[in-house]
Amino acid sequence: MVDVSKGEHALSVEAFRSFKGDVENLLEPLSCELSFDRDVPEYFHSGRSARVSMNGAVVAQFGQIHPAVAAARKLRQDVFIAEFDLELLYKIGLRRVKYTPLGRYPAVERDFSFVFADGVTFEQMGRAASALGLTTLRELQPAEIFRGGSIPSGKYSVLLRVRFQSNERTLREDEVAEWSGKIVEALTQLGGVQRA
């Protein structure tokens, strides 16, 4: 007998991540930075749902319908919904478009692999890096996220891609190494453990 429940769980988690990306894309043109938490109503699945805030105001909540609600409604497939506060989103308005010319000098990318507790969000990582005040830090993005295998339960591995670039000159390797060290230190203070 084959246990397919683990496979179904992985598919549901992946579907939630994809759905989260869709919600982020819908909200991206607005003029505020998004933050996420798990404080959602009981009709959502607790591990596959999130609430979205902008400047402290809740603008959306989304995720998979709780299995008990789905069973009561005789739903045979996983159902995902998103709810948006359109009046509030209309008041926030769209972000002003800013033109930034392409850099004349090359960008330098570095990858960092960390293990974090499930409670540490990417938003916290971004804020920790931004707080360093590195004027050449252009981007910090998760390139890969991994759970399971050698990663303990309750933790996840994330590969972060960092891009540095100057508008005035080509960056030196010693500068990039120094800034990379500061980012590693800031992420370690969040409880991250750097992987080799």
Percent above pLDDT 90 for the chain: 57
> 124, 190 in Cβ contact below 8 A?
yes
pLDDT tens for 150-182 read 899 999 999 999 999 999 999 999 999 999 999
Given this model, what pLDDT does residue 3 score?
37
Same-domain status, 85 and 124: no
Same-domain status, 66 and 128: no
State pTM to two decimals.
0.59
Same-domain status, 88 and 112: no
- pLDDT-derived band at 2 (thresholds 50, 70, 90) equals very low
* Count of domains observed in the chain: 2
Same-domain status, 78 and 114: no
Q: Angle of helix 173-189 relative to helix 122-130, nearest 10 degrees?
A: 130
Which residue did the predictor score with more confidence, 68 or 100? Answer: 68
Given this model, what pLDDT does residue 73 score?
92
Composition of the chain by helix, strand, coil, percent to 5: 30, 30, 35
Is the pLDDT confidence value at 110 over 90?
yes
pLDDT tens for 114-134 read 999 988 988 899 999 999 999
The contacts of residue 89 (CB under 8 Å, 6+ apart) are 27, 30, 59
Angle at 38 between CA 79 and CA 21, to 5 degrees: 55
CATH number of the domain residue 118 falls in = 3.30.70.380
Given this model, what pLDDT does residue 1 score?
34
37 falls within a domain: yes
Percent above pLDDT 70 for the chain: 94
Given this model, what pLDDT does residue 8 score?
59
Given this model, what pLDDT does residue 34 score?
82
Task: Tell me the residue type at 83.
Answer: E
pLDDT tens for 18-57 read 898 899 889 988 867 788 888 999 999 988 999 999 888 8
98 falls within a domain: no
Same-domain status, 45 and 81: yes
Same-domain status, 81 and 118: no
Same-domain status, 188 and 112: yes
Tell me the C-alpha distance between 88 and 24, whole Å: 16
